[in-house]
Structure formats: structure tokens, C-alpha cells
Amino acid sequence: MSTTHALADLSSVRSPFDVAEIAAWKAILLERRRQIVGDIQGLVQDAMDVEGVQPAANHLADGGSDTDLQDMSLGLADDDKHILTLIDRALAKIDGTVAKPFGVCEYTGEAIALERLELIPWTPLSIEGATYLEQQYLSLAELIAD
């Protein structure tokens, strides 16, 4: 496969789902979004709680552990924020504010396998698209654009 591949032209491609299925996917994405927003709030609160704890003078190692916990909480919150961005993008596809169809790989222009969407309903890529991304050492932002 060539290292310079043009993304699929999705202007005339339609979603593989009917209206009822799209509504079901939207409900799934909205619920997952609600959960992730709650997770982010909890992780940020955990990090802030750790920041407010002062280690005892004779236990400096405790301070290091607290910093590690804070870093981990903030890192997980960042990961969740990335997923939240992808969920918002998938919802924009469903709502028609992004001119790309939901459920279609932005790399190949083909329908994303149902099994993949059931696991990661916000994914913009099929397995082939995700493999290309990894093989080319690209970030998702480099591969897809609105």
C-alpha cells in the first residue's frame, strides 16, 4: 500500500444505517458521553483532592505517591477528553453538522464493521483505516479532517 493515500471522498456516501438505527446509535453515544463527562469530573476532583493533601514531614515518599496518583488521574481525564471529542464528532455526523456519514470509515469510504461500532461507537475508522494509521505513525487528527 502506498504511503500517500488520499482519504475517501465521502461527499456522496450515505450512512449504512436507517433512521431508527441512527436514533439508537445516537442514544448510545449520548449515554456514553454522559458517563465520560462524569468520569472526567471525578478524575479531576481526585487530582485536586490529592493536591490538597500535605505529606507528613517524615514521609516524603507519600508525597511522591500522591503526585503519581495525581498524574495518573489527570492522564486518564485527558484520555477521556479525547474520547469525548470523538463522541461529539460522531454525534455531529448523526446530526448532519459534519458532512460525513456516521458508520462509514473516513479512510476507505466503506461501512465500519458492526462489531467494531458496537465496541467503539465513536470510531471514525474501520480496522483497515486504523491499521493504516498505525503503520504510517499518524495520529487520528492527522488522518481525518473536517
Phi and psi at residue 110, to the nearest 5°: -100, 160
E strand or H helix at 83, and its extent? helix 60-95
Q: What is the structure's pLDDT at 117?
A: 97
Kindly list the structural domains of the chain, giving each domain's residue range(s) and its CATH number in brackets, ordered by start.
19-143 (1.20.120.910)
Coil, strand or helix at 95? helix
Ordered mean pLDDT values, 10 residues apiece, the chain (146 residues): 59 89 97 92 72 51 61 73 95 93 94 97 96 93 76
State how far the alpha carbon of 6 is from the alpha carbons of 38, 47, 86, 90, in Å: 38, 42, 21, 21
Q: Could you list the beta-strand ranges (E) of the chain.
A: none
* Rounded distance between C-alpha atoms, residue 59 and residue 146, angstroms: 51
Q: What is the structure's pLDDT at 23?
A: 97
Q: What is the structure's pLDDT at 66?
A: 63
Q: What is the structure's pLDDT at 146?
A: 60
